[in-house]
Structure 1
Amino acid sequence: MSAYDDLTAFKLYAVDTGLLRRLAHLDPIAFNEGIRLFTEFKSALAENFILQGLADKYEAIPRYWTSGGQAEVDFIIQRGNDIIPIEVKAEQNINSRSLTLYRQKYQAETKIRLRFSLRNLKQDGNLLNIPLFMIDYVDKLIELGLKNS
């Protein structure tokens, strides 16, 4: 994948989700109370959390994909010869036009798509929804998802 990198376009993430919370001056109580500040910031926290888990499991640094302002897939990882798009949703609303557009553009190359969210583990065709807390099992879940898709 590195052959396709655009070094002028990048995202910055904190090395640790706890550090990100501190840098944002977000009180830990905000997580329990569901205050507006956490509601507005939870997507960044969820993405950072998932990135930490992915970086721990895969040699290559996860990338992201954008379709010129129409859609953005949060992460793209390489697992062997497979390129896997990943969307992170921090709410119950899991509608994702980005993963659909990615699949349409790269249908032949896309064996499985992942979405991390607050919803339960579920596979629908080649779309595997994984609860955020199951990031540590992502590689095994991908393996099972590929067998079932």
Structure 2
Amino acid sequence: MERKLMTKLKQWKEDKNRKPLIIRGARQVGKTWIMKEFGKRYFDQFVYINFDENRRMKDLFEGNIDPKTILMLLNAETGISIHSETTLIIFDEVQEVPRALMSLKYFYEEAPEYPVIAAGSLLGVALHEG
């Protein structure tokens, strides 16, 4: 299973027309592990944001959600200099912050060179709310 997932993630990374990737699944099935492991294996560094545990990151998305602003604030918050070629951005438990989920659209439109993966349990419920 791990090899299949890692192969698919590697293909996604190498795709010239990649979009931000959303991983959905039940709780405790390995979403966080696979994202972090992918970041360790195939990038120089990764920025990991868990919206369920970090109130300050939730607040970050209350303002402007354009990629330049988000990248600047992530850099300031994490102390990691984010580079499109070498840094994977991971948004975990993204269902907790709908504006973070919405920001993926802007990453695709305005900053597609940045690899972004988002994951969440009950994400299907959050996506179809209302």
More strand by share: 1
Bigger CA radius of gyration: 1
Give the structure, 1 or 2, with the largest relative contact order (CA under 8 Å, sep 6 or more): 2
TM-score (norm 1): 0.28
The two structures have a TM-score, normalised by structure 2, of 0.31
Higher helix share goes to which structure?
2
